Amino acid sequence: MSDKTTPSNNSFLNDAGNRALIFQIVLLVMVVFAGYYLFSNLQSNLDNRGISTGFSFFNEPAGFPILIHLIEYTEANTYGRAFFVALINTFVISLLGIILATIIGVIMGLARLSKNWLVARLATVYIETLRNIPLLLQMFFWYFAVLAALPAPRNSYEFADFLLNKRGIYSPNPIAQDGFGLVIFGFVLSIVASIGLIIWAKKRQTRTGLWFPAYWSSLGVIVGVTFLFLAVSGFPIEFDLPQKSRFNVTGGMVLPPEFVAVLVALSTYTGAFIAEIVRAGILSVNWGQTEAARSLGLRDNLTQRLIVLPQALRVIIPPLTSQYLNLAKNSSLGAAIAYPELVAVVMGTTLNQTGQAIETIGLCMLVYGSLSLSISVFMNWYNSKMSLIER
């Protein structure tokens, strides 16, 4: 702004920039004050009612058992450790759910677009049924229907050393013996070699245009080299086999029905939504792109992989992110069918035993908030990586 256009009586308050600043400061003060007021009110009310506060209970022994724990946990461990056990269970089910739902969604989305009438109709039925039934109901269905269909432990279905009954799927548990370090060394070595192979193949293709099946070869290298090291070190693995006992099956590894039911319910439900997103994404790519690719002589699967999918992804990723967020949050429904995730362990048992409602609920909100935000941040990064780079 030049001096000529500025009115001479321009006071401090008449300046748009200053005014905006003042309003923001006033708003900030109001928000901080409201927050402080609510917090101090909460504090004094809790004091008046004689309710103890704080996170000191985290160091006390929890005393309760947890069905599924991927880290060592017994009743003698603390509430803090129980929290981490639950946190890991939530992470695991969310991560596996997201991977499975994506696979199911892509397959079903493509199937619904298939020229094969039966395949397309079956996919339609799957999508429309699962999208329109509440998730909690589906969880109960998977849990109780599966339980009803399976036999009692003493009449387990047996395949080789695997057992299947109402208590879960039991498999042999591999236990590493002396010399297993050598096998791990071989495995790491083969991964390094594979990465090298992929980089070499890419460079060669850029230089000469010649194509090399790097991914399949890498898989072969990893399996082959690891097996070679296994054989050289004399197969240093022993298996702990599951065995029927009086009540249950002892030994081996077990996949409990609660875990399976939650995973199946989450991934098939979210998969139905993802299928529609994938279909929409593929349909959004102009047919001319496919025709252009064909006229360049690209085969059908290369056309899909190199031309259609990358463009479809730009449409798919943003709504896909919100499906991932939904799945992570929906994992909390697992509490209803005894899957020990965060809501069950922290907002259920811990809250009940300690009575610390504000701390435990606050903690759960924080965890779900950060879990969702990290998924969001990752997907936004992926989205910007995949987005159209304009030159």
Partner 1 sequence: MKSNVCKLLSTAAIAATISTGAAAATLDDVKSKGFIQCGVSNGVPGFSNADDKGNWSGIDVDACRAVASAIFGDDQKVKFTPLSAKERFTALQSGEIDILARNTTWTYTRDASLGLDFTAVNFYDGQGFMVRKDLGVTSALDLDGATVCTEQGTTTELNMADFFRKNKLSYVPVVVQKADEALSAYDQGRCDVYTTDKSGLAAHRTKLANPSAHLILPETISKEPLGPVVRHGDNQWKDIVTWSMFVQVNAEEMNISSKNVAKVKSETNDPGIKRLLGVEGDMGAQLGLPADWAYNIIANVGNYGEVFERNVGPSTPVDLPRGLNALWTEAGGIMYAPPVR
Closest separation in Å from C-beta 40 to partner 1: 10
Residue 244, interface with partner 1 (CB under 8 A)? Answer: no
SS3 41: helix
Residue 337, interface with partner 1 (CB under 8 A)? Answer: yes
Q: Which stretch binds partner 1 (CB under 8 A): 16-24, 193-201, 213-221, 246-254?
A: 246-254
Residues 57-116 that bind partner 1 (CB under 8 A): 63-67, 75
Residue 48, interface with partner 1 (CB under 8 A)? Answer: yes
Residue 148, interface with partner 1 (CB under 8 A)? Answer: yes
Helix orientation angle between 79-112 and 257-284, rounded to the nearest 10 degrees: 40
Out of 14, 177, 243, 245, name the contact with partner 1 by CB under 8 A.
245
Q: Give the single-character DSSP code of 176.
A: E
The token pair at 267 is 């991934």
Closest separation in Å from C-beta 356 to partner 1: 9
Nearest to 52 by CA among 43, 63, 40: 43
Out of 96, 162, 166, 383, name the contact with partner 1 by CB under 8 A.
166
Out of 6, 10, 24, 45, name the contact with partner 1 by CB under 8 A.
45
Nearest to 347 by CA among 331, 363, 336: 363
Shorter beta-carbon distance to partner 1: residue 80 or 236: 80
Do 186 and 221 contact (CB within 8 A), yes or no?
A: no
SS3 71: coil
Out of 89, 94, 267, 349, name the contact with partner 1 by CB under 8 A.
349
Out of 124, 290, 322, 353, name the contact with partner 1 by CB under 8 A.
353
Do 340 and 67 contact (CB within 8 A), yes or no?
A: yes
d(CA 112, CA 117): 9
Closest separation in Å from C-beta 71 to partner 1: 17
Q: Tokens 């035993």 — which residue? A: 353
Phi-psi region of 264 (alpha: psi -120 to 50; beta: other; left: phi over 0): alpha
Out of 340, 346, 368, 372, name the contact with partner 1 by CB under 8 A.
340
Q: What are phi and psi of 249, to 5 degrees?
A: -110, 135
Residues that bind partner 1 (CB under 8 A): 38-39, 41-42, 44-46, 48-52, 63-67, 75, 140, 143-144, 147-148, 152, 166-167, 245-248, 250, 257-258, 332-333, 335-338, 340, 343-344, 347-349, 351-355, 357-358, 361
